[in-house]
Amino acid sequence: MSTLDQVTFHSIAQLQQALDAGSLTSEALVRAQLARIEHFDEQLNAYVEAYPARALSAAIAADRQRAAGIRLGPLHGIPLAIKDLFEIDGQAITGGSLAQAPRVSKLTATAVQRLERAGAIILGKTQTVEFAFGGWGTNAVMGTPWNPWDRNVHHAPGGSSSGSAVAVASGLASAALGTDTGGSVRIPAGMCGLVGLKTTRGLISRHGLIELCPSLDSVGPITTQLKMRRGCWMHCWARTRWIRFRPSPLYSAPLPVSISR
C-alpha 216/C-alpha 212 separation (Å) is 8
Catalytic residue among 161, 162, 170, 184: 184
**Is 160 known to be catalytic?**
yes
* DSSP-assigned beta bridge partners for residue 47: 126
Q: Phi/psi of residue 93, each to 5°?
A: -135, 135
Considering the candidates 26, 97, 125, 160, report the single residue annotated as catalytic: 160
Identify the CA nearest to 179 among candidates 136, 139, 211. Answer: 211
Topology (CATH) of 3-243: Amidase signature (AS) enzymes (3.90.1300)
Q: What is the pTM of this model?
A: 0.88
pLDDT tens for each residue of the chain, 261 residues long: 678 889 999 999 999 999 999 999 999 999 999 999 999 999 999 999 999 999 999 999 999 999 999 999 889 999 999 999 999 999 999 999 999 887 999 999 999 999 999 999 999 999 999 999 999 999 999 999 999 999 999 999 999 999 999 999 999 999 999 999 999 999 999 999 999 999 988 888 999 999 999 999 999 999 998 664 334 455 444 444 433 434 444 434 444 444 333
Cβ atoms 151, 39 nearer than 8 A: no
For residues 35 and 52, what is the distance between their CA atoms, to the nearest angstrom?
10
The Cα–Cα gap between 173 and 9 comes to: 8
Pairing of strands 175-180, 121-126: unpaired
Per the annotation, the verdict on 184 as an active-site residue is: yes
| pLDDT (0 to 100) of residue 233 | 52
Cis amide bond preceding 160, omega within 30: yes
Q: Tell me, letter by letter, the H, E, C secondary structure of 32-75.
A: HHHHHHHHHHHHHCCEEEECHHHHHHHHHHHHHHHHCCCCCCCC
Query: Which of 83, 170, 205, 218 does the annotation list as catalytic?
Result: 83
174 is known as an active-site residue: no
Question: Is 85 exposed, middle or buried, given 0-12, 13-18 or 19+ CB atoms closer than 10 A?
Answer: buried
